[in-house]
Homo-oligomer: A and B are copies of this chain.
Amino acid sequence: MIRIAIAGYGNLGRGVESAVSKCEDMELVALFTRRAPETVKPVTEVPVYSMDKACEMADKIDVMILCGGSAKDLPEQTPAMAKYFNVVDSFDTHAKIPEHFASVDAVCKENGTVGIISIGWDPGLFSLNRMLGQAILPCGNDYTFWGKGVSQGHSDAIRRIAGVKDARQYTIPVPEALESVRNGENPELTTRQKHTRECFVVAEEGADLKAIEEQIVTMPNYFADYDTTVHFISEEELMRDHKGIPHGGMVFRTGTTGFNNENKHVIEFKLTLDSNPEFTSSVLVAYARAAYRLAKEGNSGCKTIFDIAPAYIHPASPEELRKNLL
């Protein structure tokens, strides 16, 4: 059995707890939190410890799955934990990945551990498909669409506006853009042509709705470059109709082959997810299996989804995989 521990118990941590319970070759042995351990109530029987006790349990845990945020938690926690454990995280600040990689790599190499970073679907499975597509069809174009799904960052941006009590923002791919890409037309698409944004907003009583709407649709970076729709709804409607955290999207590679580029090809990878954090957790858990196996073989250092032979994430043996899935 692979002994898994979780560091951080929010949506992602709960997702990992659930995903590990579905893997016959894994057991969840500890949950670490920065809150007072007795205030954390996991769904399963797993013991809860204070985060600073983790280093005392190095010999009881095979892989630590880090479930904190990319902005503040992971840049510190992943290298700190990699001193004692094989680690997996979902670090998703794309621009800072090289820096995070270097810091985790140094600690892993010094301590003989394996660190797998930026695992999930984007970065993660979407990155993998962008890479495979480019390698297979060197003459072509990449397209990534996100949604329909809830963007936490955009929802938070709306919540910070004065007079807003709560909000939920959906990112939605533009159907005509998808159609054109699927037809292999290789369109050049502006930001506005790729996605629209739809906002469901609960306003404080007596708030100026026109002013809130204006502030949303003109907000730089977040909304100004998109066609944005704003709906004001009641708190009850928000709770009833917008409680879930669905997401997904598509990665396309469209390209040509033949001496005169006469043949067109479209590769599409599509995710339709009821729960963004639970799906991300499921990918983290599969790559925890890889971290365990790679470390057992004597590897150390930081890896990404690009560096790991796919067989490492499936519980079956290479022989079974060749026989049943190839």
Contact = CB atoms under 8 A, between A and B. Distances in A.
B268 A268 contact: yes
A43 B259 contact: yes
A323 B97 contact: yes
A22 interface: yes
A131 B289 CA distance: 14
Contacts of A319: 98
A225 B326 CA distance: 24
Given A272-B265, A311-B131, A306 B318 contact: yes
A236 to B, nearest CB: 22
B309 A307 contact: yes
B97 A326 contact: yes
Interface in A163-197: 182, 184
Interface in A1-49: 15, 18-19, 21-23, 43
A278 interface: yes
B265 A273 contact: yes
Given A132-B310, A270-B270, A311-B131, A18 B259 contact: yes
Contacts of A135: 286, 289, 310, 313-315
A228 interface: no
A264 B274 contact: yes
A138 B321 contact: no
Nearest to A279: B265
Contacts of A309: 306-309
A101 interface: yes
A9 to B, nearest CB: 14
A266 interface: yes
A257 B269 contact: no
Q: Which of A19, A131, A136, A266 has the most CB of B within 10 A?
A: A136
A196 B314 CA distance: 33
B267 A274 contact: no
Given A18-B259, A22-B139, A139-B22, A322 B306 contact: yes
Nearest to A134: B314
17 contacts: A97-B326, A101-B322, A128-B310, A131-B311, A136-B283, A136-B313, A184-B272, A257-B274, A257-B282, A263-B273, A266-B272, A267-B271, A268-B269, A268-B270, A269-B270, A304-B321, A306-B309
